[in-house]
Copies of this chain bind each other. A is one copy, B any other.
Amino acid sequence: MTSTKTINLKSRPKGAPTLTDFDFTTSENPELQDGEVLLATKYVSVDPYLRGRMSDAPSYVPPFKLNEPISSGVIAEVLESKSTKFTKGDKVIGSLQWKETQVAKEEGLRKVDPDKAPLSAYLGIIGMTGLTAFLGLREIGKPKKGETLLVSGAAGAVGSVVGQIGKILGLRVVGIAGTDEKVDMLTSEFGFDEGINYNTTENMVEAIKSACPDGVDIYFDNVGGEISDAVLFNINKFSRTVICGAISVYNKTEKPKSLSVQTFLVKKSSLMQGFVVSDYEDKHAEGIQQLAEWLQQGKLHASETIKEGFENIPQAFLDLFEGKNKGKMVVKI
């Protein structure tokens, strides 16, 4: 029997989550059964969508239970195996609990190859993050060469990949981010054509118009709120908005209000659609293959913010809402 540190959901946040919503306990791992492995956590993914699971409201993933472990995408190493699929030393990925070690069933685990890509990349650019960017842009954005793509949360995990894929596909790509440093990264590191700092821009409607002189054909939206309101004034006829997230409103205690989108959509015969990567499972393998190919060809650049230490997982998660990450945020254990 092994004991392990565990991070539980202690209370459901009202508004912005705080460290007191998390609880560290020590628990015992049960004895290994056939078909199970004992895992040591290596990398933990922290993602904005986990905020939704901390509330007791129906969503596309069920809510976390109070006083039970939180889970997310995790890379782990097999310490012991009673599975025929995995042997000691294998690196695996799965939706796993926030524990230093844990017993897991072999179903739902997938082997990853540390020689093909850094382990953390499997949580990011060649994992759910990359797939979200690739499939959201392709399946809803339906990009056509020469069109203009606008990305909010552009320096974040998904946004930075969306912009890079946009450039590969021959689009004009403009990104919105919240610091000058991030805006610089958009053009210097990720190859965006232009960046807008929403924190220092007085008139976002005009700033978008100036950066997108031919209007916006595809808006990949990670933030919602006032930034997305400003985009509405710049959408083109037949434009597509991929609603991937709305981090600016996840922590609001009241249902947020913003400009009524209906009149804009009807004037422009425009589409808006919510995107959740899990709806497109039949396209995941193909997507990963494409992303890995672009990564190997040097066309895609993985951007990561890596925090260290199991005890820092909750803080890393909170930092997402302050925009402290550049690219994908992971915690190395």
- Of the listed stretches A22-30, A172-180, A272-280, name the one at the interface; the rest are far from the partner chain: A272-280
A309 CB within 8 Å of chain B: no
A59 contacts across to B, CB distance below 8 A:
267
Quick one: which of B58, B267, B276, B279 contacts A60, CB cutoff 8 A? Answer: B267
Q: Smallest distance from the beta carbon of A200 to chain B beta carbons, Å?
A: 24
B266 touching A249 by the CB < 8 A rule? Answer: no
Task: Using A271-B271, A272-B273, A274-B268 as known contacts, say yes or no to A263 and B60 having CB atoms under 8 A apart.
Answer: no
CA distance A221 to B270 in the complex (A): 14
Q: Is the CB of A274 within 8 A of B279?
A: no
Q: Is A265 an interface residue (CB 8 A)?
A: yes
Residues of B near A246 (CB, < 8 A) are 260, 262-263, 266
Q: How far is the CB of A204 from chain B (nearest CB, A)?
A: 14
Chain A stretch 233-290: residues in CB contact (< 8 A) with chain B: 237-238, 243-246, 249-250, 255-276, 279
- Chain B residues within 8 Å of A256, by CB: 259-260, 263
> Which of A58, A245, A269 gathers the greatest number of chain B CB atoms within 10 Å?
A269
Asked if A224 is at the interface of the complex by the 8 Å CB criterion, the answer is yes
Q: CB of A94 within 8 A of chain B?
A: no
What's the minimum C-beta distance from A135 to chain B, rounded to whole angstroms?
12
Task: Please tell me the size bucket of the interface on A.
Answer: 35 or more
Give the residue of B228, B245, B266 whose beta carbon is less than 8 angstroms from that of A243: B266
Closest to A268 in B: B274
A255: B residues at CB distance < 8 A: 259-260
Q: Is the interface of A mostly helix, strand, loop or mixed?
A: mixed
State in angstroms the CA–CA spacing of A255 and B255 once bound together: 19
Hey, what's the 0/1 contact readout for A54-74 against B, CB within 8 Å counting as 1?
Answer: 000011100000000000000
Residues of B within 8 A of A225 (CB): 260
Q: Is the CB of B273 within 8 A of A265?
A: yes
Whether A52 contacts B269 by the Cβ 8 Å rule is no
With the chains together, A275 CA to B270 CA distance in Å?
8
In the complex, the chain B residue whose C-beta lies closest to that of A267 is: B59
Least CB separation from A266: chain B residue: B274
Cα of A35 to Cα of B222 in the assembled complex, Å: 55
Complex alpha-carbon distance, A224 and B260, angstroms = 8
Question: Contact flags (1/0) for A183-215 with B, using CB distance below 8 Å?
Answer: 000000000000000000000000000000000
Task: Tell me, rounded to whole Å, the shortest Cβ–Cβ distance linking A85 to chain B.
Answer: 31
B260 contacts A269, C-beta separation under 8 Å: no
A224 and B263: CB pair below 8 A? yes
Contact of A261 among B52, B261, B267, B268 (CB under 8 A): B261
Q: Is the CB of A273 within 8 A of B271?
A: yes
CA distance A272 to B261 in the complex (A): 10
Q: How far is the CA of A268 from the CA of B60 in the complex (A)?
A: 7
* In the complex, the 3 A-B pairs of residues with the closest C-beta atoms, listed nearest first: A265-B274, A266-B274, A224-B262
- Residue contacts A-B, CB under 8 angstroms, 23 given: A59-B267, A60-B237, A224-B260, A244-B266, A246-B260, A246-B262, A246-B263, A246-B266, A255-B259, A255-B260, A256-B260, A257-B259, A257-B260, A258-B258, A258-B260, A261-B261, A261-B272, A265-B272, A266-B276, A269-B276, A269-B279, A271-B271, A272-B273
